[in-house]
Structure 1
Amino acid sequence: MYATVLLFVFMCWTASAHADQPQPCRSPNMTGLLSLKGTLGEVRALGVFTYDSMHKKLRFQSNSSLSMDVTLDLDLLVFFEEGILYKIGKNQSCEKKSLQSKNHPFAIPNDATYISTMTSGSIFIEGEGLKFQIWTIPTPGYKGQSFMCATMGCLPLSTMFARESSGFVYSNLNVELDIKDPDLLVVPPFCQGLHVEETPEGTVYDFYEEFL
């Protein structure tokens, strides 16, 4: 696991830390691409996402038309505040699941811990560097670690979620700071009225489980 953590840090930054201690912040509304890579560099999921930061709602849809060899075909609608995840299948099938953890790669929670501020690229050449912050995110119920890189404006760049034997890096790409299609964050008619599936006793289910 610790090798995975080091890999993530080296992928994210080249520079030295600053002394200030920023506080957790709220990310903006976003539309963009989400890429999920394993520790060996394999792309497990790639698709479009819409995120409402005010109401903590997310829609992620893998896109089979993209020219990438991915292993996961997902359509997820998540209400983090309510603790509900809808897994939408083809032919209008739907599952409704309860989240025991609200952690996800699109926000810096209030209990996150600031590590340092870094610069990707060069700090000496104007326009050739991107300053960002690194945070650790608590993972209650898991024997693992979670780290996030976010810009100074609180835009998440990438998040690493690592367990003892595996790790994944989530990257946000081609992000636009608005919600292009609000209807994507509305529960489809065929998902309404479903009972929440029970989570096996002693387990913790969250957004990340759909990608492991």
Structure 2
Amino acid sequence: MRALVVLACLLAACMAQRPHPCFSPALMSGALTVSTQNEKLVMYARYMYDALGERIRIWEMGKYQNQSFTGDVLLLYREAAMYQISERNHTCKKLPLKIDFQPVAVPKDATLLGQFVLGSSSGPGQGLLVNTWAGDVPSQGGTYLMTVTEFGCIPIGTAVQTKEYGWTMTSYFDNIIGIEDPGKLNPPDFCRNAVMADVEPYKCSVQVCELCGKPGSGSRIRSASLKGSEPRAAASVPLLLFTWKLQVFDNMRALCLLVGLLVGCCLAQRPQPCSSPPLMTGSMSVSTQSEKLTAFASYSYDALGQRILLRESGSFNNKSFHFNMLLLYRQGLAYKINYRNQTCCKKLLDSNFHPLAIPKNASLLGQVVVGGSSGPGQGVLVNTWEGQMHLRKGTAKYMSTVTQFGCIPVSTLFHTDWTGWIVTSFFNNVVGLVDPQALNPPDFCADAELEVEDGEEPVSFFSLF
């Protein structure tokens, strides 16, 4: 009987560890970016979020249909009022806001898609454990995806599908728990005499609020709110502010030592282009802007032996595919392997091996915390780089994000004129090879003949996707 009780307790513990819908912290600050699939909207914003007082303030800037806009909006849900604020001109416009406040949370009816590690779990500061949830947006006839941290329920990103914009992607970063300046969540003094404008009330959801503007018309709110009373996805995150106080030293030696430390440490701490570990195993997803391609792959990567194994499945032009591809760059050969039928197809491979690394000529876009920095396990420090590379067909643009510690790949955006944007996300990476033998051709590939068709170019890593 005692053994049965122990077993039941263990089972209960396992069930308790399964991710559940959650609420984000009631007080948060941070930053976010918003972009639409059709590229009509690109936005950066900073926010303060107070679920206790049902208040949100957003400072935003961006482009909507190639027209630039900026805005400063305070949403007071209990007052049913929205303030459009101009600190420079000391002007304020008060507008009606008619919608119930929805806290930042994973809806109770959301479906768990999976739990994974952004970056790697092989070292401290290299990864972040997150959960991804999915659900429907009945009012828009679409769906949403939402990713939050396992510890703290800090928002990472949301993707909402609507008829007008296609997929709208929101990424949250530099989140902290708390409000740095609570006074910013109250209307400024020059707003005291603002009179409520007699216009149709704005209907804006906490989660999917696009603050757009047109020249001469001020900010406006385009609502993509979710229907119903369940909490939805949203939030953003502020950059941490560090205050350094330097003391004045009378001793010249101490002053010289201080200057040496500042120069050496600051230069050393600035992010530098880096190379990922030479041996890695993990997973990745690949999707194109046109939605023609959606793929998932597990990989084994050996930069020392210049070998890559991909086990890939997905859909291209609404047709499903599945294959195992072994790339041997030193031999200039690619093997397409069918383990079930024990058959093997051998083709020529473009022998230019490109290790996972940030090119030396890449430009640093910025360093941010994905998730939050207010507690352990709530965030991971990453660097984002951009640059160009020359391919046979022309020039490609890229934007790569890697962890500050370990240079573990997190995501890559790749653009060419003939493919549009290709988004690759890496997750569940571990440093090392789980099965080194899998990076050698299986025995039944020994007699495979090289297949070469007239005019066919060698296989490349990019052509596989």
TM norm. shorter chain > 0.5: yes
Name the residue aligned to 1:200: 455
Structure with a larger share of its residues in strand: 2
Task: Tell me how far 1:48 sits from its aligned partner.
Answer: 2.0
Which SS does the other structure have where 1:209 is aligned? helix
Question: Residues 151-166 of structure 1: matches in 2 within 5 Å?
Answer: 151-152=403-404, 153-166=406-419
1:188 aligns with 2:452: no
Name the residue aligned to 1:86: 335
- C-alpha distance in 2, partners of 1:120/1:199? 50
**82-91 vs 31-40, which moves further:** 82-91
Name the residue aligned to 1:175: 429
Name the residue aligned to 2:324: 75
**Residues 197, 79 of structure 1: CA spacing in aligned structure 2 closer, same or farther, 3 A cutoff?**
same
- C-alpha distance in 2, partners of 1:199/1:12? 46
Do the aligned residues in 1 keep the contact of 2:296 with 2:312 (CA within 8 Å)? Answer: yes
Question: Residues 1-212 of structure 1: matches in 2 within 5 Å?
Answer: 3=39, 14=173, 20=270, 22-39=272-289, 44-62=294-312, 71-89=320-338, 91=341, 92-99=343-350, 101-103=352-354, 107-108=356-357, 111=360, 113-122=362-371, 124-127=373-376, 128-135=378-385, 136=387, 138-143=389-394, 144-152=396-404, 153-166=406-419, 167-192=421-446, 194-195=449-450, 197=452, 200=455, 205-211=459-465
TM-score (norm 1): 0.72
**Residues 190, 204 of structure 1: CA spacing in aligned structure 2 closer, same or farther, 3 A cutoff?**
closer
How many residue pairs get matched? Answer: 199
Task: Tell me how far 1:102 sits from its aligned partner.
Answer: 3.0
Do the aligned residues in 2 keep the contact of 1:111 with 1:137 (CA within 8 Å)? Answer: no
**Residues 82, 110 of structure 1: CA spacing in aligned structure 2 closer, same or farther, 3 A cutoff?**
farther
Segments of 5+ residues of structure 2 without an aligned counterpart are: 1-37, 44-168, 175-238, 240-265
Instruction: Select the structure with the greater relative contact order (CA < 8 A; seq sep ≥ 6).
Output: 1
The percent of aligned pairs where both chains have the same amino acid is 19
- C-alpha distance in 2, partners of 1:81/1:14? 40
Segments of 5+ residues of structure 1 without an aligned counterpart are: none
- C-alpha distance in 2, partners of 1:48/1:94? 20
Query: Alignment RMSD, CA only?
Result: 3.7
Task: Tell me how far 1:187 sits from its aligned partner.
Answer: 1.4
TM-score (norm 2): 0.36
